[in-house]
Amino acid sequence: MYAFSSDWATEVLYDRALGSVRWRWTYGGRGGGKSVEIARALVLLGAIEPMTILCAREFQNSINDSVLALLEAQIIDLGLSHFYKVKNNEIEGQNGTRFTFKGLRNNIQSIKSMHGIKICWVEEAQTVSQDSWDILGPTVRANKSEVWVSFNPREEEDPTYKLMTRHQEDPSDGGVIIRKVNYCDNAFFPDVLRQEMEYCKRIDYEAYEHIWLGLPKALSEAVIFSGKYRVEAFSDELWLEADRLFYGADFGFANDPSTLVRCFIIGTKLYIEYEAYGVGVELDEMPQFYDSVPLSRKWPIHGDSSRPETISYLSRQGFVIDGATKWPGSVEDGITYLKGFEEIIIHERCKHMIDEARLYSYKTDRLTGEILPVVLDKHNHLWDAVRYSLDGYITGKNNPLRISKNLLGEFNVFQIQT
C-alpha cells in the first residue's frame, strides 16, 4: 500500500486495529522520526474512516505551535490533497474526518466539553503537567477511543514519564503499546543531525544517552540553573513588550557547535526565544546560519571576542557584531547575573537550549558527591551565547551590574555586593 520509513511504525501504529488498545506510547531520543510517522498514520486512518482527531500539547499559543504543518506535509506526500481541506486552525476530510488542535494548559475546560474524540495525539508530551493528564484521560471517552503519546524523556520525575512507567508495570485494562524509538530506528536520519549526534557521543556519553537514546536524566543539585528556568511556548509577539532584543554568538572550534541566541527581558524575567545551533558550520555558511534567527541583521550581536577574524567577516556580511568583554571570572559573574533573574523562560522550540539547561553543571567530588565551585566546560555553548548577548549588563565583581530602570521597574535584584 505505502512504503513506511520505519519498521516500528507498522508494529506500533498499524498491526493492532484501531480501538484494540487504549494507549500507544512512542518515546525516545531526538531524530527518531516519531512525529512524522504518527502524522502519516493519522492522515491515512482519517481517510479510511471518519473520525475526530484531537492533536494536543501542553502549550499552544497559536496554530503555528501545533502539528498542523506536519500533517499538511504528510497529506501532500501521500497524494491526499484532493481529500483533505487544510484550514487556518483545523483539517477536514471529505468523509467527515476532522483534525483539531488544542493547548492543554489554557484550553482544558473546552477540551472537557468535546465529544466523539476517536484519537487524541499528545505531542511533545514531556511538558504535560499532572493536572492536564488527570483531566485528559476521562475526556477522551468515546467508545474504543485511543490516546497516542509521543515524547523525548526529560527527568525521571516528570508526570509523563511516571505515567508511562506505571503503564509498563501495570498496563491499563484497555491495553497498552509502548515502543522506544531512537535515531537508529529512522531510515531517513539526516546527516546534519548525525553530525550533532556523533559530536555529543564523543564529548559526553552521558548527555548522548539522554538526548539521543532517550534515557531520562535524574535530577541533580549540581545543575547550575536547576529550579531557575522553565519551558513555555510564549507568544512570538511578546518581545514587543520589552525595551530591546539581545543577540549573542558563540563560534565553533573544529567540531564544536556554532550558536546564536535571541533574548529579551521583561521585568525581572529573561526570555530566550530563538536559537541557531550547528556542528561543522563553515565560515561562508555563517550568514545563512544567522539569518535563521529573526531580525539578526537589525540588532547588535555580541560574540566570542577570541575570534576577531570571524567577527570581522560577519561584520562585512552586514551584521552589527562585536566581541563581548571578558575578564578573569567572567563566566562565574555571568552565571551569578543570570541566577539573579526571577525566572529564565526558554521557548520550547529552542531544543538545544533546553538540553543545556538540564545539563550545564558544577563539578562534583567523585568520592564525596560534594558540589564544587567549579563550572564544567560542557553543555555551555548556548549559555555562553546568552552571557555574551548581555555584554555591558554583566560586569566584573568590582562594578555594579548595569540594567535600565525601564527593564526592572522598582526592582534591584541584580546588584552584586562587593
Q: Is the pLDDT of residue 401 over 80?
A: no
Q: Residue 418's pLDDT is what? A: 30
Q: What's the confidence (pLDDT) of residue 298?
A: 98
CA 337 to chain centre: 24
Given a cut of 80, whether residue 396 has pLDDT beyond it is no
Range in 28-37, 55-64, 137-146, 385-394 the model is least confident about: 55-64
Return the minimum-mean-pLDDT range out of 119-123, 151-155, 199-203.
199-203
Q: What is the CATH number of the domain that holds 92?
A: 3.40.50.300
Report pLDDT for 398.
46
Domain housing 312: 218-390
pLDDT in tens, 275-329: 999 988 999 999 999 999 999 999 999 999 999 999 999 999 999 999 999 999 9
pLDDT at 416 over 60: no
Is the residue at 402 inside a domain? no
Same domain for 269 and 176: no
Q: Classify residue 2: in a domain, yes or no.
A: no
- What is the predicted pLDDT for the residue at 411? 38
Residue 409's pLDDT is 43
Write down the pLDDT at residue 290.
98
The per-residue pLDDT for range 40-58, each reduced to its tens digit, is 999 999 999 999 999 999 9
Distance CA 81, CA 277 (A): 34
Find out whether 246 and 295 touch, Cβ atoms under 8 Å: no
pLDDT at 397: 60
Whether residues 70 and 119 share a domain: the answer is yes
Predicted pLDDT of residue 233? 87
**Same domain flag for 262 and 164:** no
- Residue 269 placed within a domain: yes
Is 63 within a domain?
yes
Q: Which residues contact 67 (CB under 8 A, 6 or more apart)?
A: 35, 39, 55, 101, 121, 123
Asked if residue 237 and residue 124 are part of one domain, the reply reads no
Residue 298 lies in a domain: yes
pTM for the predicted model, two decimal places: 0.69
Which pLDDT does position 366 carry in this prediction? 74
Percent of the chain with pLDDT over 70: 93
More confident residue, 77 or 59: 77
Mean pLDDT to the nearest integer, 270-276? 98
pLDDT at 413 over 70: no
12 pLDDT more than 80: yes
131 pLDDT higher than 60: yes
Whether residue 316 sits in one domain with residue 248 = yes
CATH number at residue 303: 3.30.420.280
Domain count for the chain, please give it. Answer: 2
Question: For residue 2, which phi and psi values (nearest 5 degrees)?
Answer: -135, 150
Mean pLDDT rounded to a whole number for the chain: 88
Give me the pLDDT at residue 206, please. 80
Same domain for 180 and 291? no
Among 386, 378, 24, which Cα is nearest to 203's? 378
**H, E, C per residue of the chain:** CCCCCCHHHHHHHHCCCCCCCCEEEEECCCCCCHHHHHHHHHHHHHHHCCCEEEEEECCCCCHHHCCHHHHHHHHHHCCCCCCEEECCCEEEECCCCEEEEEEHHHHHHHHHCCCCEEEEEECCHHHCCHHHHHHHHHHCCCCCCEEEEEECCCECCCHHHHHHHHHHHCCCCCCEEEEECCHHHCCCCCHHHHHHHHHHHHHCHHHHHHHCCCCCECCCCCECCCCCEEEECCCCCHHHHCCCCEEEEECCCCCCEEEEEEEEEECCEEEEEEEEEEECCCHHHHHHHHHCCCCCCCCCEEECCCCHHHHHHHHHCCCCEEECCCCCCHHHHHHHHHHCCCEEEEECCCHHHHHHHHHCEEEECCCCCCEEEEECCCCCHHHHHHHHHCECCECCCCCCCCCCHHHHCCCCCCCCCC
Mean pLDDT of 129-141: 88
What does the pLDDT look like over 200-239, one tens digit per residue? 888 887 889 899 999 987 667 789 998 899 888 899 999 9
Mean pLDDT, residues 1-6: 52
Residues 279 and 181 in one domain: no
Does residue 319 sit in the same domain as residue 228?
yes
Q: Please report whether residue 83 resides in a domain.
A: yes
- Domain end marker among 144, 165, 185: 185
| pLDDT at residue 81 in the model | 95
Residue 405 — pLDDT band, cuts 50, 70, 90? very low
60/165 same-domain check: yes
Instruction: Name which residue leads in pLDDT, 177 or 174.
Output: 177
